[in-house]
Structure 1
Amino acid sequence: MSKTFWGGFVILSAVMLLPTMAEAQPILLQRCSADSLDVTKAAARIEWARKCGLLKNVGSPSFGFDTGIPASNGGNLVDYQETDPVRNPLGEGSFSGPNYNFEINYSYINTLYLSGGTTQSLDTWGYNKWTRDATRKRARPLYPTFGTTADLSDASNHQLWPHPTDTNDCGLYSSATGTVSSMSSTYYVNGYCEASCYTPDQEILFEGGYVSILDALNARREDLITLSDDSTLDNVKMKKNSTYGYTVETRDTKHNIYVITTESGGQLRVTDEHPVINGEGRMVKARTLKVGHELVKADGSRDTIVSIEKTEHFGKVYNVRPVSEGLVSNVLVAQGYLVGSSRFQNDDVGYMNRVILYRGVPAHSIP
Structure 2
Amino acid sequence: MNKNQLLGAVVVLAGVALLPTEASAQPILLQRCSADNLDPTQALARIEWARKCAVQLRIGNPNNGYDTGIPAANGGTLFDYVEADAATNPNGQNAFSGPNYGFEVNYANVNTRFLSGPTTQSADANGYKIWSRAAARARARPLYPTFGTTANLNDASNQQLIPSAASCALLNNGAPAGTFFVNGYCEASCYTGDQNILFEGGEMPIIEALNSRREDLVTLASSSTLDNIQLTRNETYGYTVETRDTDHDIFAISTVGGGKLSVTDEHPVINGEGRMVQAKTLKVGDELVRADGSRDAIVSIERVKHFGKVYNIRPVSEDLVSNVLVAQGFLVGSSRFQNDDVGYMNRIILYNNVPHIP
TM range (shorter): over 0.9
Q: Distance in 2 between matches of 1:254 and 1:218?
A: 22
**Aligned ranges for residues 164-313 of structure 1 at < 5 Å?**
165-166=165-166, 169-175=167-173, 179=174, 182-313=175-306
Per-residue deviation, 1:119: 1.4
Per-residue deviation, 1:227: 1.7
Q: Which of 6, 10, 29 is equivalent to 2:7? A: 10
Q: Distance in 1 between matches of 2:330 and 2:136?
A: 27
**Aligned ranges for residues 138-149 of structure 1 at < 5 Å?**
138-149=139-150
Per-residue deviation, 1:364: 7.2
In structure 2, what residue type is equivalent to 1:249?
Answer: E
Q: Report if aligned partners of 1:19, 1:151 keep a CA contact under 8 Å in 2.
A: no
Deviations 1:22-60 (A, max 9, x none): 542101000000011111111111111111111110111
User: Are residues 1:130 and 2:131 paired?
Assistant: yes
The residue that corresponds to 1:355 in the other structure is 348
In structure 2, what residue type is equivalent to 1:281?
Answer: G
Per-residue deviation, 1:217: 0.9
SS of structure 2 residue aligned to 1:91: coil
SS of structure 1 residue aligned to 2:192: coil
SS of structure 2 residue aligned to 1:62: coil
Q: Report if aligned partners of 1:11, 1:348 keep a CA contact under 8 Å in 2.
A: no
Per-residue deviation, 1:148: 0.8
Assess, with a 3 A threshold, how the Cα gap between structure 1 residues 12 and 196 changes in structure 2: closer, same or farther.
closer
Per-residue deviation, 1:238: 2.1
Per-residue deviation, 1:229: 2.4
The residue that corresponds to 2:32 in the other structure is 31
Q: Report if aligned partners of 2:252, 2:261 keep a CA contact under 8 Å in 1.
A: yes
SS of structure 1 residue aligned to 2:183: strand
Per-residue deviation, 1:349: 5.6
Per-residue deviation, 1:335: 0.8
Q: Distance in 2 between matches of 1:348 and 1:276?
A: 14
Deviations 1:218-269 (A, max 9, x none): 1212221222223222222223222221111011111122221111111111
SS of structure 1 residue aligned to 2:90: coil
Q: Which runs of 5+ in 1 are unaligned?
A: none
Deviations 1:155-196 (A, max 9, x none): 111111112x43xx1111124xxx4xx111111100111101
Q: Distance in 1 between matches of 2:290 and 2:172?
A: 46
Q: Report if aligned partners of 1:4, 1:12 keep a CA contact under 8 Å in 2.
A: no
Identity of aligned residues (%): 66
Q: Distance in 1 between matches of 2:279 and 2:28?
A: 30
Per-residue deviation, 1:13: 4.6
Q: Distance in 2 between matches of 1:189 and 1:232?
A: 41
Aligned residues between the structures: 354
SS of structure 2 residue aligned to 1:66: strand
Q: Distance in 2 between matches of 1:141 and 1:363?
A: 31
Q: Distance in 2 between matches of 1:360 and 1:268?
A: 28
Q: Distance in 2 between matches of 1:364 and 1:72?
A: 34
Structure 1, 221-230 or 49-58: larger mean CA deviation: 221-230
Q: Report if aligned partners of 2:151, 2:182 keep a CA contact under 8 Å in 1.
A: yes
The residue that corresponds to 2:112 in the other structure is 111
Q: Distance in 2 between matches of 1:364 and 1:235?
A: 15
Deviations 1:126-173 (A, max 9, x none): 12211111111122211100011111111111111112x43xx11111
Structure 1, 129-138 or 320-329: larger mean CA deviation: 320-329
User: Are residues 1:46 and 2:47 paired?
Assistant: yes
SS of structure 2 residue aligned to 1:61: coil
In structure 1, what residue type is equivalent to 2:8?
Answer: I
Q: Report if aligned partners of 2:287, 2:295 keep a CA contact under 8 Å in 1.
A: yes
Q: Report if aligned partners of 2:149, 2:161 keep a CA contact under 8 Å in 1.
A: yes
The residue that corresponds to 1:159 in the other structure is 160
Assess, with a 3 A threshold, how the Cα gap between structure 1 residues 349 and 245 changes in structure 2: closer, same or farther.
closer
Q: Distance in 2 between matches of 1:10 and 1:311?
A: 33
Q: Distance in 1 between matches of 2:71 and 2:47?
A: 23
Q: Report if aligned partners of 1:115, 1:350 keep a CA contact under 8 Å in 2.
A: no
Q: Distance in 2 between matches of 1:108 and 1:47?
A: 7
**TM-score scaled to structure 2, two decimals?**
0.93
Q: Report if aligned partners of 2:223, 2:355 keep a CA contact under 8 Å in 1.
A: no
Deviations 1:252-303 (A, max 9, x none): 1111222211111111111222111111222222122222111111111110
SS of structure 2 residue aligned to 1:63: coil
Assess, with a 3 A threshold, how the Cα gap between structure 1 residues 241 and 340 changes in structure 2: closer, same or farther.
same
Q: Report if aligned partners of 1:28, 1:191 keep a CA contact under 8 Å in 2.
A: yes
SS of structure 1 residue aligned to 2:84: coil
Q: Distance in 2 between matches of 1:66 and 1:39?
A: 31
Q: Which of 346, 351, 354 is equivalent to 2:339? A: 346
Q: Distance in 1 between matches of 2:119 and 2:139?
A: 15
Q: Report if aligned partners of 1:145, 1:190 keep a CA contact under 8 Å in 2.
A: yes
